[in-house]
């Protein structure tokens, strides 16, 4: 008792001296009291209390000034943990916007970003208040209550708040005593409390996004919630099952938050915002030319398709041949890039003609028929920036095709809107091929996969797309080439000659140069070496890999079976610590460097760090799924997320529910929905867009089967 009393007196005096000597803000003092009161045992030892005192003493007691931040070499920032992956941007709106913007700020000033992840918005403000982070880079509503505690940057967005409900719900009346569900810590709570005090507020304390709130409404678990109009427009780009029922009368201003009186850091942020004019808005239709666009610091809007050739999301990274070329063009011209996703060729032309985009960059072949239609639509075409072959796609086991005459009686499935339609018609007329018109919603990559699965006989595709698909589907062959030099070109409006001239200059400078060839090889000439590795022959009692002991040590805190991780490691890298792929993933667990850095891992060449990053990321994906899932199902969903990205798996779960399948079972349920997300009619309504669904399906099955074998081997 005397020891405990002495320790308590010591700690009390220590805290009083610390608070008095350093003039610690009340928030930190409150944190220290909370820490003391939350000890597991009221009979803490002197050593334990001393250790706690040391931790409190080390805690930052004031906001870091700009000079201190710059001297340290890094910015401490916070994000929600479910934002490790962002949604597919369809018209410039994405949660990745703020991460990218802050990264640009840091890069220009030679700094790194140290990301801290928390579960909800309230925790974000708590971390800022206790000086654990320097900034919250997120659209935050500036309210009177928040202004008492924090400072805000120049506005990044001006918006309105809107009540949303399930589509078809027309019974909303703002005068009624309604119940509205809101996430903890959000400014929506203040808005409702002040503007509609008669509404009943139900607080959700879990980590939720606007997408998940919308899902909960559609499922019937809640009736109404409040989001920004900007967030609603993002959701409505790909879903039609929610609607706006009421817009709150007062407009809101959104910005980043820093601590009060941190004027030097705030000045630096505001200077950046002013120079780069980063106000995020949904832009109206416009048809101005390039010089005016740059003068007004407007975004360059590129119209493209969500497809493996052009633009897609993989493990939180935006990728695609067209996307990377346009990003380079935007960087060179010092303009911000916005992607506008269209579903069909005709929709692209319409968006461009109406001034809803500035360039079409979608792997469009410059055919005679298309050139005529382009001119009639008041559009102009660039010089060639790529060349492809027009080839026949067949299954390797089908009857041999050595010449055009062998097409007699064979069936070619193709879309009527395809640039290959004219070729198909000629093959039917001159060589007796049968032509089946494919549904316009079926993309060419799906037709190729149907050939590989023997669902259809033949199709026609360009050599770039065939190169992508053949790296995953070894069953396909190209017995005939119809055209050797099919040019790809960009489209702009005729009244934008400056933009056309800049595009042509870009092509002349970079076409077939080092940058261009690296990007092209990344997507079209980098074969996966799945078959180049012989499977390890394992005997009972033998080790599974050279890294068994490392894996055993790292899985303990996460309750994974070490043999599962070894099975996954084999799938990812065949135990090669220097393995890499074209998309930038590296190491034993094939982690993307950016994702690994956010998990605190810097050297993916080091086996321990590589394994640590993989285990942490698999655990992160598992934590995103409902704890109501059986343990085994959590593993299946986690593996699928690791391979394809958490967002694509959530899309598949939502689609499974819509199809009457079980969203809590992977095999024969969600995996079926995942396969459908390769098809345009499904992925165009998915938040994360196109996914090569067969890859995660095979990934989970292969790892599971190998894991079962490992269990038998190791006993």
Confidence of residue 12 (pLDDT cuts 50, 70, 90): very low
Q: Comparing 161-170, 277-286, 486-495, 669-678, which segment has the lowest mean pLDDT?
A: 277-286
> Which DSSP letter does residue 535 get?
P
Arithmetic mean of pLDDT over the chain = 83
Mean pLDDT for 520-525 is 83
> 180 - beta bridge partners?
201
Whole-number pLDDT of residue 1: 41
Whole-number Å distance between alpha carbons of 664 and 140:
34
The bridge status of strand 359-360 relative to strand 300-304 is: parallel
d(CA 582, CA 469): 14
266 burial level (CB within 10 Å; 0-12, 13-18, 19+): buried
pLDDT tens per residue, range 397-456: 999 999 999 999 999 999 988 888 989 999 999 999 999 999 887 888 889 989 998 999
pLDDT of residue 526: 56
pLDDT of residue 187: 85
Instruction: Please state whether beta strands 161-166 and 225-228 pair in parallel, antiparallel, or not at all (unpaired).
Output: antiparallel
Show the beta-strand stretches assigned E in 205-251: 225-228, 242-247
pLDDT of residue 181: 94
Residue listed under structure tokens 């092209």: 520
CA distance 461 to 393: 7
Considering Cα of 163, then 164, then 168, then 169, what sign does the dihedral take? negative
pLDDT higher than 90, residue 268: yes
Give the per-residue pLDDT at 533: 36
Cα(637)–Cα(624) distance, integer angstroms? 10
Q: What pLDDT, on a 0 to 100 scale, did the predictor assign at position 652?
A: 96
**H/E run at residue 485:** strand 481-488
Position 522 confidence tier, pLDDT thresholds 50, 70, 90 = confident
pLDDT (tens digit per residue) in 490-505: 999 999 999 999 999 9
The pLDDT of residue 207 is 60
- Whether 643 contacts 699, CB under 8 Å: yes
Structure confidence at residue 676 (pLDDT): 92
DSSP 89: P
Q: Say which residue, 282 or 499, is predicted with more confidence.
A: 499
Q: Contact, 160 vs 61, CB < 8 A?
A: no
Enter the DSSP assignment of 84. Answer: G
pLDDT at 86: 58
The pLDDT of residue 443 is: 82
Nearest to 92 by CA among 211, 233, 228, 260: 233
Close Cβ partners of 453 (under 8 Å, ≥ 6 residues apart): none
Model confidence band, residue 714 (pLDDT cutoffs 50, 70, 90): confident
C-alpha 46, offset from chain centre: 48
H or E element, residue 387: strand 386-395
Mean pLDDT throughout 337-349? 87
Say yes or no to pLDDT of 115 above 50: yes
Give SS3 for 626. coil
**Residue whose C-alpha is closest to residue 196's, from 255, 131, 246:** 246
Query: Which of 38-42, 109-113, 586-590 shows the lowest per-residue confidence on average (mean pLDDT)?
Result: 38-42
* Alpha carbons 708 and 677: distance in angstroms, whole number: 28
Confidence band for 238, pLDDT divided at 50, 70 and 90: confident
Question: What pLDDT does 629 receive?
Answer: 85
Provide the pLDDT for residue 76: 95
CA atoms of 317 and 336, how far apart (whole Å): 18
What's the number of CA atoms in the CB half-sphere (13 Å) around residue 424? 23
Q: How confident is the model at residue 14 (pLDDT cuts 50, 70, 90)?
A: very low
When pLDDT is averaged across residues 275-296 and rounded to a whole number, the result is 76
pLDDT of 131 reads 94
pLDDT value, residue 426 = 94
Pairing of strands 386-395, 481-488: antiparallel
Helix axis angle for 631-644 and 646-658, nearest 10°, is: 120
By percentage, how much of the chain surpasses pLDDT 70? 85
Share of the chain above pLDDT 90, in %: 48
Q: What is the pLDDT of residue 96?
A: 61
**Of 239-243, 342-346, 456-460, 558-562, where does mean pLDDT reach its minimum?**
342-346
Q: Quickly state the pLDDT bin for 58 (edges 50, 70, 90).
A: very low
pLDDT reported for residue 282: 52
Tokens representing residue 324 in the block:
């990377």
Tokens of 665: 């079972």
Look at the pTM and tell me if it is higher than 0.75: no
Confidence bin at 103 (pLDDT 50/70/90): confident
**Residue 565, token pair as written in the block:** 């991780």
If we measure between CA atoms, which residue out of 472, 469, 444 comes closest to residue 458?
444
User: How far is it, in rounded angstroms, from Cα 613 to Cα 262?
Assistant: 34
Which has more confidence, 35 or 707? 707
40: confidence class by pLDDT, cuts 50, 70, 90: very low
Is 10 a residue whose pLDDT tops 50?
A: no
Please say if the pLDDT value at position 641 is more than 50: yes
> Which pLDDT belongs to residue 307?
85
Assess whether pLDDT exceeds 70 at residue 84.
no
pLDDT value for 137: 92
Average pLDDT over residues 118-133: 90
DSSP state for residue 400 in the 8-state scheme:
P
The pLDDT tens digits for 359-396 are 999 999 887 778 888 888 899 999 999 999 999 999 99
- pLDDT, average across residues 212-226: 89
């Amino acid at each position: 008792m005397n020891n405990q009393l002495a320790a308590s007196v010591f700690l009390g005096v220590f805290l009083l001296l610390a608070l008095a000597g350093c003039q610690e803000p009340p928030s930190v003092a409150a944190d220290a009291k909370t820490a003391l009161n939350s000890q597991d045992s009221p009979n803490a030892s002197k050593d334990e209390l001393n250790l706690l005192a040391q931790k409190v003493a080390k805690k930052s007691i004031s906001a870091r000034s700009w000079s201190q931040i710059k001297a340290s070499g890094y910015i401490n920032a916070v994000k929600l943990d479910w934002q490790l992956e962002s949604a597919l941007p369809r018209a410039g709106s994405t949660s990745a916007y703020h991460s990218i913007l802050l990264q640009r700020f840091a890069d220009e000033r030679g700094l790194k970003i140290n990301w801290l992840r928390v579960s909800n918005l309230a925790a974000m403000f708590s971390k800022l208040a206790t000086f654990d982070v320097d900034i919250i880079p997120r659209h935050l509503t500036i309210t009177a209550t928040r202004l008492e505690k924090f400072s805000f940057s120049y506005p990044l967005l001006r918006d309105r708040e809107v009540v949303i409900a399930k589509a078809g719900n027309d019974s909303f009346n703002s005068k009624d005593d309604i119940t509205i569900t809101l996430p903890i810590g959000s400014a929506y709570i203040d808005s409702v409390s002040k503007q509609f005090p008669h509404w009943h507020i139900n607080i959700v304390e879990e980590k939720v996004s606007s997408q998940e709130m919308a899902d909960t409404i559609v499922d019937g678990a809640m009736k109404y919630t409040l989001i920004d109009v900007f967030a609603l427009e993002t959701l409505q780009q790909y879903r039609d099952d929610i609607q706006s029922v009421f817009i709150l009368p007062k407009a809101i201003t959104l910005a980043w938050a820093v601590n009060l009186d941190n004027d030097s850091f705030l000045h630096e942020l505001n200077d950046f915002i002013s120079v780069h004019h980063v106000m995020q808005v949904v832009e109206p239709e416009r048809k101005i030319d390039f010089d005016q666009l740059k003068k007004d610091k407007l975004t360059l809007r590129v119209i493209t398709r969500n497809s493996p050739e052009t633009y897609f999301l993989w493990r939180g990274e935006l990728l695609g041949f067209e996307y990377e070329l346009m990003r380079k063009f935007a960087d060179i011209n010092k303009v911000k890039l916005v992607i506008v996703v269209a579903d069909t060729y005709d929709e692209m032309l319409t968006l461009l003609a109406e001034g809803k985009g500035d360039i079409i960059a979608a792997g469009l072949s410059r055919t005679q028929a298309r050139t005529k239609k382009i001119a009639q639509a008041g559009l102009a075409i660039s010089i060639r920036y790529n060349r492809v072959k027009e080839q026949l796609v067949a299954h390797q086991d089908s009857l041999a095709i050595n010449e055009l005459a062998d097409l007699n009686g064979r069936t070619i499935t193709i879309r009527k809107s395809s640039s290959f339609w004219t070729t198909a018609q000629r093959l039917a007329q001159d060589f007796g091929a049968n032509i089946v018109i494919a549904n316009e919603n079926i993309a060419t990559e799906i037709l190729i996969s149907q050939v590989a699965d023997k669902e259809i006989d033949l199709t026609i595709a360009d050599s770039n797309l065939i190169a992508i698909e053949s790296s995953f589907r070894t069953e396909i062959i190209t017995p005939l080439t119809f055209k050797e030099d099919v040019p790809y070109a960009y489209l702009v409006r005729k009244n934008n000659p400056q933009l056309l001239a800049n595009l042509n200059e870009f092509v002349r400078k970079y076409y077939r140069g080092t940058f261009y060839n690296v990007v092209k090889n990344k997507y079209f000439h980098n074969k996966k070496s799945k078959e180049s590795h012989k499977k390890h022959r394992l005997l009972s009692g033998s080790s599974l890999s050279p890294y068994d002991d490392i894996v055993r040590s790292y899985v303990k805190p996460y309750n994974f079976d070490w043999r599962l991780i070894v099975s996954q490691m084999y799938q990812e890298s065949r135990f090669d610590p220097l393995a890499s792929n074209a998309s930038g993933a590296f190491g034993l667990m094939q982690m993307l460097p950016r994702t690994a850095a956010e998990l605190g891992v810097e050297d993916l060449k080091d086996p321990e760090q590589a394994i640590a990053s993989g285990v942490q990321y698999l655990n992160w994906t598992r934590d995103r799924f409902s704890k109501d899932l059986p343990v085994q199902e959590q593993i299946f969903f986690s593996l699928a997320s690791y391979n394809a990205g958490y967002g694509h798996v959530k899309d598949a779960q939502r689609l499974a529910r819509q199809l009457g399948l079980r969203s809590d079972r992977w095999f024969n349920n969600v995996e079926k929905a995942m396969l459908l997300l390769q098809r345009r009619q499904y992925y165009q309504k998915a938040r994360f867009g196109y996914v090569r669904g067969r890859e995660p399906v095979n990934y989970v099955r292969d790892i599971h089967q190998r894991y079962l074998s490992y269990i038998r081997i190791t006993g």
